Amino acid sequence: MKKLTWFSASIILFFLITITSCKKSTKSAKSQKTTENTVNKKWWKEAVVYQIYPRSFQDTDGDGIGDLKGITSRLDYVKSLGVDIIWLNPIYASPNADNGYDISNYDAIMKEFGTMKDFDTMLSEMHKRGLKLVMDLVVNHSSDQHEWFKQSRSSRTNPYRNYYHWWPAEKGTPPFRPCAFDEDGSAWKYDKLTNSYYLHYFSYKQPDLNWENPKVRQEIYAMMNRWLKKGVDGFRMDVIPFISKDTTFPVITKKILKEKFNGSWGQYFASGPHLHEYLQEMNKEVLSKYDVMSLAEGAGTTLKTAMDFVDPARHELDMSYHFDGVSLGYLPNQFKQMDPNGYKLTEFKKVYSDWDKVFEKKGWGTIYLGNHDQPRMVTRWGNDSEEFRAISSKMLSTFLLTMRGTPYYYFGDELGMSNIKFNDIKDYRDIETISMYKRTEDKGGDLHYFLEGQKISARDNGRTPFQWDASENAGFTTGIPWIKINKNENEINVVSEENNPDSPLNYFKKLVQLRKNNKDVLVYGSYKLLDKNNPNVYAYTRTSGNQKMLILLNFKAIEATANTGLDLSNATVLLSNYSNAKVSQKLQPYEALVLALK
Ligand code: GLC
């Protein structure tokens, strides 16, 4: 065979490369054009959500508890952040066993928070400013003080009996189900009056509603319609994957749990037989009638099951949030005790990259590092020491605002608020910490160890009052706050941060604007993880057409270098948490760099 000359070989090679790259580019151009996500743009995909814990935002009547008038009075501040949607934790009437996640009347406002008139004013003031309101919807369970439950428990023949799940005692002890909040750990509570047990996945003050009863579903849809007609812009749905139950209540052995549900009760709870049927029904009867958004608290959902909730073709919900990220770094078989070595960044990167992949073409994801069920983001994922608190909290905010998926940003994180780290169980208000403490005590466990763990992981760390200024009680209340205020209020507060151009607050505002001004890339653009085994740096690109950004995040308190393999000679810095930042893959401690690539 005639030998190929160097020249002809290079011509062939040239053609081969051109053909494959053409093929590739038509393929990627095609897939970019045709994915549901690049075509189907929505306001809630482009939005930044700001979550307010109403109990701790602003008190106006001196009872030490935040209220709706307080929220209304601070809307200009919220608007100044540049965010679009406010999600409020439950504000309905509630005896507050679980701070509003136990609702006694879905059509009334919690008395500590104000009146329906205060609500109407708040909503209209939000809308005047172009802010949307998302309400919490807690319908897996109600309060035991809800009229439905009072009726239901009163006799076996009451018309409301089937609004909840009852197990007559003559059938013996019901098959074990765990509950999240009670000392005894069982989700069945015996009720003497009718000699029956009722089901509660959380506390016994939060009985689970029986969704298998069509009347219950109709009541809930009617209630949702009433709120949407009032003008609210959507719902965040509390533990919504748990609503449907196999009412034969089969025995679930450890073996079944392990083999079928990966050893996770959450996954079992999220596998109810009619779950998706009910969500489709809810969509048809409620959500489809309005231009609103819906978000599932994706408890028990996995990479495999999440799409079923948010695939537009299925007509269920819009977005979901998972727990894989926030569960990292805990020791196995212990209640929220951090591994002394912390979490591994490589695992963190894998979780967020795997989840990004799920919604690459259709459906839509979310991104968050803090909320009312989590400790403060900077303590848990960054570094809350004096030296690194501000810089690391800005780095984490950079992550949240440059990923694909709608960011859910928790109030106070823009200030870099950190965990309060109570020493004494008496300072805690959260049913979860208090009952886990009792469980530990009953078992003769190590209470000191438990409390040390809670300094990092307890939910109350994220629930302390918002820090407005350096005055007594941080400008939150003139009374005695319902939970202690963090002592760092003198330094970490809105007034001092508004006056400091380098503050986490001012940096957050810049990040929001960066996302808004670059929606094609930062909202809709594709995501690619680089340098995946780097233990210190999280590096990724976001790309849309010819526009590309490289995000470099040093998650450690030491200098670290990224090896992205990219040519940065024409790159420019769009934003960084260091004022002396330059284009470089060598990063200062907790440095965040957002680069435009040419
Ligand atoms: C959800 C809420 C949490 C609450 C629980 C029970 O996980 O986010 O705060 O305690 O449901 O309603």
Q: Check if 373 has its Cβ closer than 6 Å to any atom of ligand 1.
A: yes
Give the pLDDT band (50/70/90) at residue 39: confident
Cβ atoms 574, 583 nearer than 8 A: no
Domains of the chain (ranges, CATH numbers):
147-199 (3.90.400.10), 212-324+327-335 (no CATH), 524-596 (2.60.40.1180)
Long-range contacts, 144-147 (Cβ 8 Å, 24+): 144/102, 144/204, 144/205, 144/206, 144/207, 145/95, 145/102, 145/104, 145/205, 146/103, 146/104, 146/105, 147/104, 147/105
How much is the pLDDT for 5? Answer: 38
How much is the pLDDT for 578? Answer: 98
Share of the chain above pLDDT 90, in %: 92
Give the pLDDT band (50/70/90) at residue 33: low
Least confident residue range of 37-41, 195-199, 545-549: 37-41
The number of the ligand 1 atom at minimal distance from the alpha carbon of 181 is: 10
The answer on pLDDT for 17 being more than 70 is no
Cβ atoms 504, 390 nearer than 8 A: yes
The answer on pLDDT for 23 being more than 70 is no
Of 67, 208, 238, 384, which one is the catalytic site residue?
238
pLDDT 10s digits, 265-303: 999 999 999 999 999 999 999 999 999 999 999 999 999
CA 373 to chain centre: 8
* Average pLDDT score over residue span 363-373: 98
Q: Which positions ≥6 away from 325 have C-beta within 8 Å?
A: 348, 351, 352, 355, 369
The answer on pLDDT for 399 being more than 60 is yes
* Average pLDDT score over residue span 43-56: 98
Q: Check if 200 has its Cβ closer than 6 Å to any atom of ligand 1.
A: no
To the query of whether residue 238 is one of the catalytic residues in this protein, the response is: yes
Q: Check if 372 has its Cβ closer than 6 Å to any atom of ligand 1.
A: yes
The number of the ligand 1 atom at minimal distance from the alpha carbon of 102 is: 12
Ligand 1 centroid – CA 134 distance (Å): 16
The secondary element (H helix, E strand) that includes residue 385 is none
Q: Check if 101 has its Cβ closer than 6 Å to any atom of ligand 1.
A: yes
The answer on pLDDT for 314 being more than 60 is yes
How much is the pLDDT for 333? Answer: 86
Ligand 1 centroid – CA 407 distance (Å): 20
Ligand 1 centroid – CA 200 distance (Å): 13
* Average pLDDT score over residue span 204-230: 98
Give the pLDDT band (50/70/90) at residue 36: confident
Q: How far apart are CA 404 and CA 354, in angstroms?
A: 12
Q: How far apart are CA 581 and CA 584, in angstroms?
A: 8
pLDDT 10s digits, 99-122: 999 999 999 999 999 999 999 999
The answer on pLDDT for 7 being more than 70 is no
User: What SS3 string covers 426-469?
Assistant: HHCCCHHHHHHHHHHHHCCCCHHHHHHHHHHHCHHHHCCCCCCC
Give the pLDDT band (50/70/90) at residue 150: very high
How much is the pLDDT for 34? Answer: 55
The answer on pLDDT for 66 being more than 60 is yes
Q: What is the pTM of this model?
A: 0.94
Q: Check if 98 has its Cβ closer than 6 Å to any atom of ligand 1.
A: yes
* Average pLDDT score over residue span 422-445: 97
The answer on pLDDT for 263 being more than 50 is yes
Between β-strands 537-544 and 526-530, what pairing exists: parallel, antiparallel or unpaired? antiparallel
Ligand 1 centroid – CA 594 distance (Å): 35
* Average pLDDT score over residue span 383-390: 98
Coil, strand or helix: which one is 396? Answer: helix
To the query of whether residue 259 is one of the catalytic residues in this protein, the response is: no
How much is the pLDDT for 569? Answer: 96
